[in-house]
Structure formats: structure tokens, C-alpha cells
Structure 1
Amino acid sequence: MKIIKEEIEIDKGRSFKVFSPRLKNYFYWHYHPEIELVFVEAINGIRHVGKNISGFVESDLVLIGSNVPHLNFDYGIETDYHQIVVQFNDRFIENNINSVPEFQSIRKLLDDSYLGISFHGETKTRVVKKLKEIHQVNVFSSLLDLMDILQTLAVSTEFEKLNSDDTRIKFFLNDKIRMGTIYDYIHENFDKKPDVNEISDIVHLSTSAFCRYFKKQTDITFTDFVNRYRINQAKTYLLQEASISEVCYRVGYESISYFNKLFKQLVGETPSAFKQRYSTKSKE
């Protein structure tokens, strides 16, 4: 699929939208003028915001700015999951935040959201609890809940900016290649040997032109992307109680030592440490 502009309708009598989309079988590479706060709870998943491509384990909480292209966070998830999305537009910011001096920190947070901001730690725990309890019936209470959530995020130090450059839609509008085609190809071939020459032919580019295109769009090479995708799949299999050697071969690697080395490089710990840590958490 080419990048899509999503048309968002906010219900009459409300200034923002809260809902729980389920699009796991659909590649939805899209953007919209509305700012979006996404929470997804799953064993494992892919995060693609702007140029940043990474993975998450257990849950993810991300603030995405206006017109920043992103992939639906439940794309390709094969296990049970839960998702909450909050969307609000410029009118919400103008009417509720910009003119209020006490909301200066929230205004700064929203100004920075064009980079994509991922939250973790106690901040994520507190905000997720509030998101799950947000009032859907009482519109006044729901507005207070949202302002409380934004203030919690605004004063937090537990965050990571996902992009270093501006990746709003103006960067991607001239993109004639369908990212969905590339994702589909890798999803179908990650356990084999994804071939850059083959995908180059599929999208009608020379190999060198495709490599330049892909690096420009994602800040990583095609080989790096394949490795990240494989390791992301490996995390899912490890959490489903598969052995390390079984997972290694299942995601397309022939050397367990290389798999262990690459896993630690990308995840920050060995497959055995990762498996043990999350197995222990599931039993608590």
C-alpha cells in the first residue's frame, strides 16, 4: 500500500477521540493532521514511526505528532493484544492548551511530538492505568482525564525521542515505492533468505537505487531491517516457550553463535537472558 491520509472524525460534543482499533491483518502506513497517543499491549510487536523502525515487548506507549507517517502498531501481531488510541486536532490544542499559561509543559510536549516520543517506566504504568479508566460517558470527566494524562507525560523524564529529524509527511509525499510491498516480502521470506536483488526487481528499481531509497526512508540498510525483523520474530517465539536453537533456525539463521551475538547487539541481552526475564515476569 502507498501511504494513506487517514480522515478522522471526532464525535459531536467531544474535542478528542478514544477508541480501540484492530487492524493486525492490514498494513496501514498512514498519516493524519491529528496528534495521536497510542498504547498497545501484546507479547511483541513492530513500531514504525517516521524513519524509526524498532520493536516492543509486552507494551508500548507512543505520542505521534501531526502528519508523521506511522504503521499501525498491531500490524502482524499473531497473539492476543489490546490497543487504545487517543486522537485530537489543532482545535483541541488551540482551545484548551495554547491560551493557558499553566499548560506550558504540555504545549512543549506537543511541539516535540513530531519526532515521535516513546514512554517507559513508571510514567507508562501510570498513564496506561489512566487510559484504561478514562471516562467514555461523562465528556467533562474524560477531558479532565486526558489533561491529566498529558501533564503526566509532559513532566516525565522517562521517554525516548524516536527520530532525530523532521519526518512529517512532506518528506514522504514523493515516495513512489510501496512500503507495504517491502514489508510483505520480508514477512513472507524472513525465515528463508530475503534477497535485495529480488525485492529490487519487485519494486522496479536497480539494486543500487533500491538500497539508496531504503536507507533514505528508514536510516538503516535493507540487511539491517531484515535482521531487526527476524530478531523481532525471534522474541515472539522465545516468549512462546520455543528453545533458543529452535528459534534460531526458525527465523532463518544457520549459526546459533551468530544469532546469539546479533540478538544481544539489537536487544541488549542474550536470548537466554531475555527468555528468562520475561518467563519470570509471566509467573509473578
Structure 2
Amino acid sequence: MNGIQLERVEFEPGKSFKLFSPRLRNTFLWHYHPEMELVYVEADAGIRHVGTHISTYTQSDLVFIGGNIPHLNFDYRLRSDYHQIVIQLRTDFLGEALSASPEFARINRLFKQANLGIAFSGKTKAVVADRLKQLNGLSSYDQLIQLIDIFNVLAQSAEAELLNTDPSSKGFILKDKLRMGAIYEYIDANYHKKPDVNVVAGKVNLTTAAFCRYFKRQTNMTFTDFVNQYRIERAKNLLMQGENITETCYAIGFDSPSYFNKLFNRIVGQNPSIFRNRWIDADKS
């Protein structure tokens, strides 16, 4: 049974953060680490899975994640080329100055909110993306100053979305990380093959009834609702890349296009055809 992996982050001597561009799209890396992380990725469409939150991003994503929040690598299953920038902060980043300096009050609040995971959009994402791309050409000192300025921009942004509503969910997932990691990995491997609640319950050594109670407590969703949401997010990903609606329906494990259309409309708020056409038209403009 595979669990949520603890990523051990190594920092260069004399640096308070790590800047790198990982490429792991063929790896299902459900992981966590004590260090906070800022992730920017440019891709046609991908999956964002942070804590119990699952959604789809398009063209690019900018997410700030607090320490020890389980999350999936943002480049998982990307089909076209992509670019990713990741910054991980030492657990004592900025030290006592973060809480003691009035000038850092907004950034301190941002860091606390990151415990829920934060996604940024609009002008904020564009401005921060441009500054992140400039970091590699700077000295370590100038990188740090630029990074503090980036966090100040994020701290003042109104274009932010908290990804999780319950801060205790992180603790629940980590407390039972072996079991939750196995469940998520099973869903990812079988979402298009009609995942069986009885099978996954057996994999984590629970009766079906006990598993259903456990899963609902962990995610605030039933197993069936969670799998359906996962499927629809995968469907959105395929539609954004120009896939046919009927083929998408079958690819994510549904036998009935009419049921797929109904479920998609309920979860997304519009039918697959409108969603696909709007995305294609926006991509052309």
C-alpha cells in the first residue's frame, strides 16, 4: 500500500529558499513537506489537487501551499510541453522578523492563509509569473528581495481563492497518510474503470461501511461523489485540449453520454459542448 510521501527538501548552504523547475509529468507524486511552496506552471490544462481540493487549471496556475499540506505534482499527466517554477521556503524563512515587523504584517497573514492552499488568478498571476521568470538571472540577495516583493504582491491581491475550507483536514490526511495515499492512488489509477468501493475498502483493511464513514469524514464527500468529481475534472482537461465530447465521456469511464452531460452540467454549471466551445474560442482570441 503506497502512502503520501514525505519529500525531503535540500537547500543550498547560505540560501533560505530553493528555486527549481521539476519535470515529473509521468509520476503520480502525492506528497507533503514542512516547507511552504509557491508553484507556477504554464500548460494547456492540468489538474490541481491540494489537500481535499480538486480542480482544473487552464493555460497556467499559481498556487501557494502551506507546510505539510498533501498535494499532487501540478505537472502530472500533462500531455503537451510545459514550464514550471517552484520555490520552497525554509521553515524559518524570514525568522522572527515575519511576525515582529509591522512591515511584514500582510505577508505574515498570507503565510497563515497558505495553510488552506491559495490559488491566484488574473493580473496578479501575470505579474508574479513575470517576476518569477526573472529570478534565475539575479544574485542570491536580489532573488530574496524580489521574492519578498512577490509575496507582498500576493498578500495584497484580491484575485485569490482559498482551496480548502477546513484547516483540520490537513491533520486528518497526514494522521492517516498511508491509507489516504493508497485511496487517492487507487482512484487515479481506476477512475475510468468504474472504481469499486468494496475493492478500495479492502485495500485499506476496512469494511465497506467503515470505509464510507471514514472517507466522508476525511473529504466531506461520499466516495461516489469524489470519484465523479475526479472524472469530471479529467473530462474538463481533455475537452480543453480539443477532445471529442463522446470520446471524452468514454475515456473517463461513463457508458452513457446523456448521463455524462447531466453530471457535467451539475458539477461545472454548463454542458460539455458549451464548456468546450467557450474554451476553444477563448484560446483562439
Per the TM superposition, whether the score is higher than 0.5 is yes
**DSSP-derived class of the 2:239 partner:** helix
SS of 1:228's partner is helix
Identity of aligned residues (%): 52
Q: Report what 1:151 is aligned to.
A: 152
Q: Which consecutive residues of structure 1, in runs of 5 or more, have no partner in the other structure?
A: none
Instruction: State the secondary structure of the residue aligned to 2:152.
Output: helix
* Partner in structure 1 of residue 206 of structure 2: 205
Cα deviation, residue 136, structure 1: 4.5
Offset at residue 107 of structure 1 (A): 1.1
Measure the CA separation in 2 of the matches of 1:77 and 1:114.
Answer: 26
1:248–1:24 distance in 2 versus 1, CA, 3 Å: same
The residue aligned with 1:246 is 247
2:281 corresponds in structure 1 to 280
| 1:40-66: CA deviation from partner (whole Å, max 9, x where unpaired) | 222332222222233322222111112
Deviations 1:78-100 (A, max 9, x none): 33322211111232231653343
1:1-284 pair list within 5 angstroms: 1-94=2-95, 97-167=98-168, 170-175=171-176, 177-284=178-285
Cα distance in structure 2, aligned partners of 1:58 and 1:72: 16
Q: Is this contact kept in 2: 1:31–1:169, CA < 8 A?
A: no
Per-residue CA deviation, residues 150-200 of structure 1 (Å, 9 max, x unaligned), is 011100111111122224754334316444433343334322322111222
Give yes or no for contact 2:49–2:72 (8 Å, CA) kept in 1. yes
**Which is worse superposed, 65-74 or 167-176?**
167-176
Q: Deviations over 1:205-259 (max 9, x none)?
A: 2111111222222222211121122112212322332221222222222332322
Residue identity matched to 1:131: L
1:134 counterpart SS class: helix
2:193 is paired with a residue whose SS is coil
| Cα RMSD, aligned residues only | 2.2
Specify the SS of the correspondent of 2:266.
helix
* Secondary structure in structure 1 of the residue aligned to 2:218: helix
In 1, the alpha carbon distance for the partners of 2:261 and 2:216 equals 25
1:173 & 1:106 partners in 2: Cα distance? 26
Tell me how far apart the structure 2 counterparts of residues 17 and 279 of structure 1 sit (CA, whole Å). Answer: 36
TM-score normalised to the size of structure 1? Answer: 0.90
Q: Match of 1:172, SS?
A: helix
Give the C-alpha shift of residue 116 in structure 1: 1.0
- CA separation of 1:269/1:133 partners in 2, compared to 1, >3 Å: closer, same or farther? farther
In structure 2, the residue corresponding to 1:118 is in which secondary structure? strand
Please identify runs of 4+ aligned residues in structure 1 that moved more than 6 A: none
Assess if the C-alpha contact under 8 Å between 2:37 and 2:86 holds in 1.
yes
Q: Deviations over 1:18-60 (max 9, x none)?
A: 1111222223222222111111222332222222233322222
